[in-house]
Structure 1
């Protein structure tokens, strides 16, 4: 019998487009550079799954889905230090992918990467309800992802691989980022309802048009490594979100601090009402920002060189 094995997966952060994507504009996600470690141990031929920590309310469904999709011999899966729940960092996708990766290690039947990814998406659907696919795809492949439904219509200014009409793996230049957790939380449903009430009729169409154009400018600048221009688009997105009531005083303070220390751009990431802020800037600016955010009581999720 094999002993305990470890593997590392990366959560995700949305760079641009988290709110307009539901109306047909593009969205961009990148993997968090600081990985999350998982450890898997075989449980003989028990066909059981043990999880630590254990999402008790989901355990039965997890076992049923995996037993149906992957013929495995049983395993325990532990994650000593996961990502904060409800922060928009893809923790449910991370767990879904980890479960499939672990089950595949002890499976009696070989499956392709694509087939395994589809199983991970089924688990993510159980956890998330109606996932867009951007979270599980970013976690599964560990590379930046572009999403636009029903199909990608924008010009993609860097090398990419189209996985589905609406999903592409992209290979843009490296981008220095810092991700900080505001430590505030509010249900995604509440923010979606708030956005729906404020965006109606022509206002929704113009918002989607503005955000779509901004994301295209962001990508064009990224392809040319014009980081100042990228930061400008991030700042503009944050102002849109503030006007829509998606930001908070604490998020605003984190963004203002980022600008004060010289970051190129900063914005909330995810549903809003709390969660995380993502900033881009020079190594010096991001180092100063990490210290400043820490002094504010924020949790530093991940930084990028």
Structure 2
């Protein structure tokens, strides 16, 4: 095996590991989709049940581009990621080397294995990018802080989706719910225990297309952007307080109200509407589309005793798979 060579020509054996690994998980937006791009707050939830792992190693095949990176995508997400992921990941690798002053060295092969279905508003591309950053850092034996990791993930996200708020890049590495606004995030206080059911409609959405559709509507109607952002901000703030105060019924109502906002903007679909209606009919405290829209997933807030029936009716309405994410009361130490 050939050791990586620095710009000064010194063999840097402390970089060398046979394989570097990185991991990230999915996310779901509680409230704040699209409005967060315009500076409004968003509430986001990590979904650790759905994970991505990246493994990076020195290529043994030749000839290969020195200093380059190749990606192999496996797992259930591979087909869609192969269509739109690598451009952002190649830019990420370039920025990674530049940020850490790494030049030269052999070609790197990265294998990405993930269970996050792409195009569903679950942060699949951001999770892949974060896993790759951490795998490259591990391979080179470098420490990469959260700020640099975020910036590198955003590099890939902006290539993949266009303008990206950063909420995905933050939440795919978070350990608990976050309040995100204007590029910053802080932990959310949770005052109750309940369950969130995420239901996949089976329809691939597009954050970029949805964002373009929303902007086109703003341009056609004077004041539409300001009204959308104001209403979204109001709902998100009330939901944040309800979450902190342990009022799940209030939180659920605001989820449903936010769905109405997104539906009015043309970002829902017939199947999403059927799934939201089914969740509410089954006793969910609130339900909404989660993510960019035009497909993707529905998020339903429910008490544990109603979870089985809510899940059953979501599947009857068209959900192809579901995941249950516990929402747990915060433990505070004084």
Asked if TM exceeds 0.5, the reply is yes
Per-residue displacement from partner, 1:92-118 (whole Å, max 9, x unpaired)? 111110111001111154343433333
Compute the displacement of 1:246 (Å).
1.8
Correspondent of 1:106 among 135, 139, 148? 139
Compute the displacement of 1:17 (Å).
1.4
Compute the displacement of 1:265 (Å).
0.3
TM-score, length-normalised on structure 1? 0.82
State yes or no: 1:191 paired with 2:210: yes
Cα 1:293–1:65 change in 2 (3 A) is same
Query: Equivalent residues in 2 for 1:1-305 (5 A)?
Result: 8-43=23-58, 47-53=67-73, 55-58=85-88, 60-70=90-100, 71=102, 75-149=108-182, 166-173=183-190, 175-199=194-218, 200-305=221-326
Aligned equivalents of 1:169 and 1:213: distance in 2? 19
Q: In the alignment, what sits opposite 1:153?
A: none
Per-residue displacement from partner, 1:16-54 (whole Å, max 9, x unpaired)? 011322333211111113131415253279755342215
Compute the displacement of 1:58 (Å).
5.0
Determine if contact 1:21/1:27 at 8 Å carries over to the other structure.
Answer: yes
Q: In the alignment, what sits opposite 1:156?
A: none
Aligned equivalents of 1:30 and 1:303: distance in 2? 12
Q: Which runs of 4+ in 1 moved over 6 A?
A: none
Aligned equivalents of 2:23 and 2:308: distance in 1? 25
| Partner secondary structure for residue 186 of structure 2 | strand
Structure 2 unaligned regions, length at least 5: 1-15, 61-65, 74-81, 327-334
Decide which moves more: 294-303 or 206-215: 294-303
Structure 1 unaligned regions, length at least 5: 150-165
* Equivalent residues, number: 289
Cα 1:237–1:66 change in 2 (3 A) is same
Aligned alpha-carbon RMSD (Å): 2.8
